[in-house]
Structure 1
Amino acid sequence: MGLTQVQDKSPLVSTLPFEIEMINRIKNRIFYTGVMALMVACTDLTTTPRQSLTPEVALNDVSGYQSVANSMYNRATSFDYYGQTMMIAPEILADNLKLIANTGRYQGEEANSDRDHINIWGLDVFGGINDANLIIEGIDNEDVTGTEDEKSFIKGEAYFMRALFYFDLCRVYGYEPGREINGFDLGPILRLTPTLVASDADYRPRSTVEEVYSQIESDLLAASELVGYAPVGSEWVYYGNTGAVYTLLARLYLYWGRMEEAEAAATFAMEILNLRTNGEGLVEAAEYVQSFSRAPHPESLFELELRQVDWDGADGVNNSLNSLVSDNEPAAQFIIGASDDLMAAYEEGDVRKDCWTVTTREGIEGDVYASRKWTGYKGDFLENLPIIRASELYLIRAEARYQTNPAGARADINALRFRRGLGAIDNLLSGEFLLNRILQERRVEFALEGHRWFDLKRNGKNISKHGNFLEVPYTDYRILANLPLEEVQLNEQLEQNPGY
């Protein structure tokens, strides 16, 4: 079995402070290529039903734990999570998308109606957290057969995914630290041990967002020492990897308002991933649109792989991103298109505008815009989901720098714009104008990838809307999603969000 030595790619900004040492996390890390082979081999592993997995039945070797990790990843592809909700709802709750057909879906979200929000408080996310907890608590048991490298890799995957699950719960159901309204600072329930049987379950109150953020930071730093290095756009981005870990850490710090750490984490990730200050490492402008019809996406740092077996019956037609926002299949629903406001936000020559094509829709007067970002390129409305892309690092670092190093922020924006067919921005742009420029770049770069609502919310801005829909003031209770009523009724310690 061969050995793969990860290159020493220490960051240039090694003097920047971190609460926990970031530097040398990857230096001299050695991973068995056999671990990677295990990841691939286990993709199609057949196990007993998930509810029947017990330590006695399935968790006596690393392949059993990898099957739990597969369950963890698969939960993230659910239509109630990244398979649909987390990609579409944050866009139509803001100003990027509009309904072009009335099927009852997303009508409340477009109008920001009471209790029509992002709903991920359910089995997919908390089940994924439980999968991660199961791995973290049990895989190091001496009775579990497998090499230490194999165990470490799977444990690192669990830390990474638990961090992602909790991060999403925080940004949907809580205010970012320092942005609280009337001092309300609660996030999700924090549970770090597995629930194997009913007697393990208990009712508990919500933790503060600050407490959960601290746990996410700890999980990501733990993951950084365990997972492997994956080149941008390689087949290993289907699993937790160092680049994805540090990008999510940089994103966490950005939401947390810890800008110096966000800049350092982003810089570190860019260094190890060979992303250059001139944009080298991102796709060329001419390849941008087509890049969304490739698996993995050539800019992916973390991607959820979908296969035909992941669809159930008519789910592909009824629920897939491709069906809802594109018209390239006769059976597609095509009920959501780009808003006129979004289309007006693209500059002339911006290749990102070509991710939309002008077309018509029965019952709608005038032009509508269909997505060419989600094309169902794997057939039958099926495609992978790039969750973290390399371009985000440039925009995280730009935002982290805009107050203290506006020239550096402008350079990061320009590096991305060059790869999107555009020229440089005004080299005198600074302050709030520069921040708005960054948010504008994020809007057009990540349209239909689920960032728009959160980018406005985490900056304390009112939520802008398209057409005649009224903006949502940041102080409005609808900024936070409501917890499901049945959960609040079941658990007396679970406090509902204000206003609901």
Structure 2
Amino acid sequence: MKKFSKYIVLFVAAIAVSSCDDYLDITPVGRVIPETLDQYRAVLTRGYDAYPEHKSLTAVRTDELTMNEFGDEINLFKDIYIWKDANPDRSTITFHYQDLYTVIFYTNVIINDASSKLADSPEKNQLIGEAHALRALAYFDLINLFGKPYNATTAASDKGVPLALQVDLEQVFVPKSVEVIYNQIISDTNKAEELINLNSQPTGKNYRFSKVALYSLESRIYLYQQQWQKSFDAANKALVINNTLVDLKATPVLATKYNSVESVLALEDGYINGLKLTSYASSDLINSYNKTSDLRFPLYFVASGSRFRIQKGANDEQKCSFRTSELYLTKAETSLKLNNISDAKTTVLSFIKNRYTAAAYTQLESDVNGMNAVDLTNFILEERHREFAVEGHRWFDLRRTSQKQIVHTFDGDSYTLIQNDPRYTIIYPSNARLNNPNL
């Protein structure tokens, strides 16, 4: 087998990525062999930097947006918006299948080469632990884009994505089951737990994994697997390190900023500039807020005629993969699933106290305390809908819960994603299928 370690390229020598007969072809330009901790850190930094902005594309498929049919870049998004996956227009942006495997390439370099080359040290452990965590995140996103939603009864047979753990040109990339991929994700997070030794990263370096970011990832993974206790425990471990919420009554600022007190991992932009200029908030999204008492509304939206533009995202300050708000809402949801409705109410109230006017909270406190389990579940999910608007959560949340029917209108025609539609699982991009018949 040909190994690529001798070809690893740092920032001083670019790596060009393009399709090949398997799933990606990495053409080395220069042959700088990493030997030192700093050089391997530069390789992993390149991996972080390569993490794609795929979450914006998932938002186009949800009930969060309506498209500006006269936008300059509408052709990039139209076929995603109408769920025309099988034969989209050539100008349509492709979901970032290959880009996520590029990230995995970089993490494989660290995991397979740095372990044997570097002397033992806390910094080495931190580096390799981050690589395991980043690889877990990439596979988690891949399986939730291109694999069926996790179902314990069918995961062993449900088709997933290829598994690449070595830097190996001759490997045949055949999709593994959803179960195999999730098992690898959990294996990586377990290894990362052994190695990562920083509780949190300093502002400016918080695109890197830390313990609090790793626990947040684990909480999300187990939530999607419906392993409620494990998700609850991981959320609690993260909250021990950072449980700070922005109180919008006192500080009316977006909590998605990388320097926010809520920031846990500031890696991804959930709403890219091209999409921001081509879309508006949907009526479904706007109507989910109380416009006078929900303090998020004037922060998230600005009126544009009869419609609303979204003020989140589309700048480097708003990099957000995980933040403490998610931990509170996950803890509330899993508490409820564990039949602890009292704790679920306490947790969700401690969160919404920071999001509504004082008068509105007084009424909501009474309402929440009077809710049964079904009503409270719906309230928590709607709080996720409101809190994480266009941050990339909605598509994945719909996949793991109701897979509701969504209707989009474009140029006078209506298009429907029916409930439990097979298109809730995105097909592999055409170029990936063309270059790898195993897909």
TM-score calculated relative to the size of structure 2: 0.83
Q: Does 1:90 align with 2:58?
A: yes
CA distance in 2, matches of 1:292, 1:159: 27
**Aligned counterpart for 1:370 among listed residues 284, 293, 309:** 309
Query: What letter corresponds to residue 338 of structure 1 in structure 2?
Result: A
CA distance in 1, matches of 2:217, 2:323: 10
From the superposition, tell whether residues 435 and 473 of structure 1 become closer, same or farther in structure 2 (CA, over 3 Å): farther
Identify the residue that residue 417 of structure 2 maps to in structure 1: 472
**Aligned counterpart for 1:67 among listed residues 42, 66, 73:** 42
Q: Does 1:399 align with 2:399?
A: no
Q: Does 1:106 align with 2:77?
A: yes
Identify the residue that residue 317 of structure 2 maps to in structure 1: 383
From the superposition, tell whether residues 375 and 219 of structure 1 become closer, same or farther in structure 2 (CA, over 3 Å): closer
The question of whether the paired residues in 2 share the 8 Å contact of 1:175 and 1:458 is answered with: no
Identify the residue that residue 429 of structure 1 maps to in structure 2: 371
Identify the residue that residue 129 of structure 2 maps to in structure 1: 156
The question of whether the paired residues in 2 share the 8 Å contact of 1:220 and 1:245 is answered with: yes
Q: Does 1:409 align with 2:377?
A: no
From the superposition, tell whether residues 470 and 174 of structure 1 become closer, same or farther in structure 2 (CA, over 3 Å): same
The question of whether the paired residues in 2 share the 8 Å contact of 1:288 and 1:352 is answered with: no
Report deviation, 1:258.
0.7
User: For 1:79-478, what aligned pairs fall within 5 Å after superposition?
Assistant: 81-82=52-53, 85-86=54-55, 88-102=56-70, 103-115=74-86, 119-142=94-117, 144=118, 148-178=121-151, 185-195=158-168, 200-231=169-200, 234-273=203-242, 275=243, 281-286=244-249, 289-292=252-255, 294-304=257-267, 321-322=272-273, 324-325=275-276, 334-347=277-290, 348-360=292-304, 366-374=305-313, 376=315, 382-403=316-337, 404-421=339-356, 422-423=360-361, 424=365, 425-465=367-407, 469=414, 471-478=416-423
Report deviation, 1:72.
0.5
In proportion to residue count, which structure has more strand? 2
From the superposition, tell whether residues 49 and 114 of structure 1 become closer, same or farther in structure 2 (CA, over 3 Å): closer
Report deviation, 1:268.
1.5
Residue 287 of structure 2 aligns to a residue whose secondary structure is: helix
Question: Which consecutive unaligned segments of at least 5 residues does structure 2 have?
Answer: 1-9, 17-26
CA distance in 1, matches of 2:260, 2:405: 30
CA distance in 2, matches of 1:141, 1:129: 19
CA distance in 1, matches of 2:355, 2:113: 46
CA distance in 1, matches of 2:405, 2:272: 23
The question of whether the paired residues in 2 share the 8 Å contact of 1:233 and 1:297 is answered with: no
From the superposition, tell whether residues 429 and 338 of structure 1 become closer, same or farther in structure 2 (CA, over 3 Å): same
Cα-to-partner distance string for 1:19-44 (whole Å, 9 max, x where unaligned):
xxxxxxxxxxxxxxxxxxxxxxxxxx
From the superposition, tell whether residues 427 and 359 of structure 1 become closer, same or farther in structure 2 (CA, over 3 Å): closer
Identify the residue that residue 39 of structure 1 maps to in structure 2: none
TM-score calculated relative to the size of structure 1: 0.73
The question of whether the paired residues in 1 share the 8 Å contact of 2:98 and 2:432 is answered with: no
Residue 351 of structure 1 aligns to a residue whose secondary structure is: coil
Identify the residue that residue 363 of structure 1 maps to in structure 2: none
Query: What letter corresponds to residue 384 of structure 2 in structure 1?
Result: R
Q: Which moved more, 1:264-273 or 1:106-115?
A: 106-115
From the superposition, tell whether residues 473 and 289 of structure 1 become closer, same or farther in structure 2 (CA, over 3 Å): farther
CA distance in 2, matches of 1:182, 1:214: 11
Query: What letter corresponds to residue 325 of structure 2 in structure 1?
Result: S
Cα-to-partner distance string for 1:242-277 (whole Å, 9 max, x where unaligned):
01101110100010111111111111211232x2xx
Query: What letter corresponds to residue 299 of structure 2 in structure 1?
Result: C
**Aligned counterpart for 2:428 among listed residues 475, 483, 489:** 483
Report deviation, 1:479.
1.2
From the superposition, tell whether residues 155 and 183 of structure 1 become closer, same or farther in structure 2 (CA, over 3 Å): closer
The question of whether the paired residues in 1 share the 8 Å contact of 2:271 and 2:313 is answered with: no
The question of whether the paired residues in 2 share the 8 Å contact of 1:175 and 1:480 is answered with: yes
Report deviation, 1:411.
1.7
From the superposition, tell whether residues 136 and 231 of structure 1 become closer, same or farther in structure 2 (CA, over 3 Å): closer
Cα-to-partner distance string for 1:263-310 (whole Å, 9 max, x where unaligned):
11111211232x2xxxxx10111466523585423211101289xxxx
The question of whether the paired residues in 2 share the 8 Å contact of 1:205 and 1:493 is answered with: yes
Q: Indicate the percent of aligned positions where both proteins have the same amino acid.
A: 27
The question of whether the paired residues in 1 share the 8 Å contact of 2:271 and 2:314 is answered with: no
Report deviation, 1:426.
2.4
The question of whether the paired residues in 1 share the 8 Å contact of 2:109 and 2:167 is answered with: yes
From the superposition, tell whether residues 454 and 233 of structure 1 become closer, same or farther in structure 2 (CA, over 3 Å): farther
Cα-to-partner distance string for 1:415-462 (whole Å, 9 max, x where unaligned):
111011252242132333222211100001000101111111111432
From the superposition, tell whether residues 288 and 111 of structure 1 become closer, same or farther in structure 2 (CA, over 3 Å): farther
The question of whether the paired residues in 1 share the 8 Å contact of 2:258 and 2:318 is answered with: yes
The question of whether the paired residues in 2 share the 8 Å contact of 1:230 and 1:237 is answered with: no
The question of whether the paired residues in 2 share the 8 Å contact of 1:394 and 1:416 is answered with: yes
Question: Which consecutive unaligned segments of at least 5 residues does structure 1 have?
Answer: 1-44, 276-280, 307-318, 326-333, 361-365, 377-381, 495-500
CA distance in 2, matches of 1:320, 1:439: 21
